[in-house]
Structure 1
Amino acid sequence: MLTPPPPHDYMPKGMIRDHLQWSAAGVAGSEVRDELARHLGEISRYAGGLILEAVKRGFSVYRKPDGSSYTDADVEAERFILEALAAHFPNIPVIAEEQSAARAEAGESAAPVSDIFFLVDPLDGTRDFTSGGLEYTVNIAAIVNGAPVAGAVYAPANDLLWIGGAHAYTTTIAPYAAPPEFEDWRAIHTRIAPQEGLTALGSRRHGDGRTQEFLARLPIRKRLSTSSSVKFCVIAQGEADVYPRFGPTMEWDTAAGDAVLRAAGGSVVDEKGFSLVYGQSRNGYVNGPFIAWGDSAQSHMYCG
């Protein structure tokens, strides 16, 4: 069984916390954001390796009080991510899915955050994961003043990694492989909405009437279904145009994919066309309805 090294052993050179000149007054510079995104990608890869190890040995499935499921893999991946973030960013709070679920089960309110924090979903798409699907992801995002300024989405079953800081990139890389070189990354960008019609993405396992009503208003040429944060990344790399979601989601479900999509030129907005805002602790970090667009100009036409 492969074992990932301690967090400090894979820290990319030059990426030390002193480089993060974050402040509540402004977002870090583009070079720092890209470097942070690469670092979050490294953490997500190693967490993905732990998930694959759980698949090999077998894992147990548990139920939360709200009826949703989690597994040993969720817990182990989140523990690793929290340790890695604490090692390099000890003064920045983290909101993570399983940690938040434990607080809720204990009757505690959602943990508050400052203007700078991380959002973590250690295994997005658990239902797909437990049924043998391959589209589950590890999601990590850095939030400054309510906006995702850097994020990483890793699909360990497919060795696919997407990152977004000031720019968006993707690469194919195994969980415990050496860090990718510059030439291994491919820059990705969203596309202008095709005149012949839009390609819409929907959840493979979640649907609701309001989402279908919204899609009925659009000039849809093709519909595709996929799971987890992969949907944001497909739009980010110019292979689809819109992903509406009016059913319930949590901030850790969307923040990393949102970071990648924004960095690629897209947007994630609410029904009125305003950018999705993160850090809503009073709401328990529950998202409202949102629409992810590849061509941001479309949001002005169909939102508001």
Structure 2
Amino acid sequence: MNYSELTTVMRRLALQAGEKIMEIYNSDDFEVMVKSDNSPVTVADQAADALISEGLRAAFPNVALVTEEQADSHDISAMTFLIVDPLDGTKEFIKRRGDFTVNIALVEDGVPTRGVVYAPAKGRMFFTDSVGKSVEETGPFDLDTTGETTPISVTDPDNSKLMVVASKSHRDQATDDYIAKYDVKDMTSAGSSLKFCLVATGEADLYPRLGRTMEWDTAAGHAVLHGAGGRVVRFDDHTPLAYGKEGFANPFFIAYAPGVDLKEA
């Protein structure tokens, strides 16, 4: 894999998808449909998926592609694959709350090694560079030229006053009970894969997820967090969260900055 080319392609496709998404987001109205699993999908999800899929297949025809919006890709079994959630945080998009992202990642041997997370409504772009280190790019963004980038890194956490981020749309009592095991200085909520990025930039120390997610929801954010020195582990036994699982469904997990004294489930 040519990582330099991959970085360029993923970044450009994320920006193009984000532009298409924002056109629909800023329109007077858009259609909301319901998928077979009762989750919402919009024309923005579908348009972004078509754009990203076409671009990735053209650039990397020999690499398997898994994408949320194409059910036939969910049967793929491969050690190396690209994985896409063209619009993560559809509920945030529908409610026009801005916390939605474009997610594109590369998984190698069960590990997300490269990824891009773009939040077009917030103007924030995070991605791994050609050597796998994570950066945040400051807009305005240009499709062909990367702007000013800043290396990002997890914080050195103080376990007596942790910063915690939790889901905006999927918060529940079990999550609150687990967070209560920690000494928390402050909490914030965020939608989509932005939660991984807040840990990656040091804006939060800990993100526990006690709810259903799929690998396309998490791979890009996981890659960005990994490239910033962070970790993602299973909630039950604290072993690394692996990818390429049958059906691409995740167990509960914890994303965190090393140094956080993880509590048992």
Question: Is the structural similarity TM-score above 0.5?
Answer: yes
Are 1:54 and 2:24 matched, yes or no?
yes
Q: Gaps spanning 5+ residues in structure 2: where?
A: none
Q: Greater helix percent: which structure?
A: 1
Match of residue 242, structure 2, among 252, 277, 283: 277
Q: Distance in 1 between matches of 2:206 and 2:67?
A: 27
Question: Deviation digits for residues 118-145 of structure 1, max 9, x if unmatched?
Answer: 1100000000101111111000000000
Total equivalences in the alignment: 261
Structure 1-normalised TM-score? 0.81
Q: Distance in 2 between matches of 1:231 and 1:200?
A: 10
Question: Deviation digits for residues 203-258 of structure 1, max 9, x if unmatched?
Answer: 11102333222212112111111111111111101111000001101110000000
Q: Gaps spanning 5+ residues in structure 1: where?
A: 1-19, 22-31, 104-108
| AA in 2 matched with 1:286 | A
Q: Percent of pairs identical after alignment?
A: 37
Question: Deviation digits for residues 155-211 of structure 1, max 9, x if unmatched?
Answer: 111221100252010013346554224xx0110000111254101101111023332
Distance 1:56 1:217, change over 3 A: closer
Deviates more, 1:134-143 or 1:52-61: 52-61
Partner of 2:67: 96
Q: Distance in 1 between matches of 2:159 and 2:243?
A: 33
Are 1:194 and 2:158 matched, yes or no?
yes
Match of residue 72, structure 1, among 43, 50, 73: 43
| AA in 2 matched with 1:36 | L
Match of residue 217, structure 1, among 172, 176, 181: 181
Q: Is the 8 A contact 1:46 1:175 kept in 2?
A: no
Q: Provide the secondary structure at the position in 1 that maps to 2:70.
A: helix
Q: Distance in 1 between matches of 2:176 and 2:20?
A: 36
| AA in 2 matched with 1:180 | T
Runs of 4+ that moved beyond 4 A:
174-178
Partner of 1:87: 58
Partner of 1:206: 170
Distance 1:141 1:177, change over 3 A: closer
| AA in 2 matched with 1:285 | F
Distance 1:175 1:135, change over 3 A: farther
Map 1:1-304; keep pairs closer than 5 Å.
20=1, 32=3, 36-57=6-27, 58-100=29-71, 103=72, 110-165=74-129, 166-174=132-140, 177-181=143-147, 184-271=148-235, 272-280=237-245, 282=246, 284-294=247-257, 296-298=258-260, 301-303=262-264
Q: How far off its partner does 1:55 sit?
A: 2.2
Distance 1:175 1:80, change over 3 A: farther
Q: Greater strand percent: which structure?
A: 2
Structure 2-normalised TM-score? 0.92
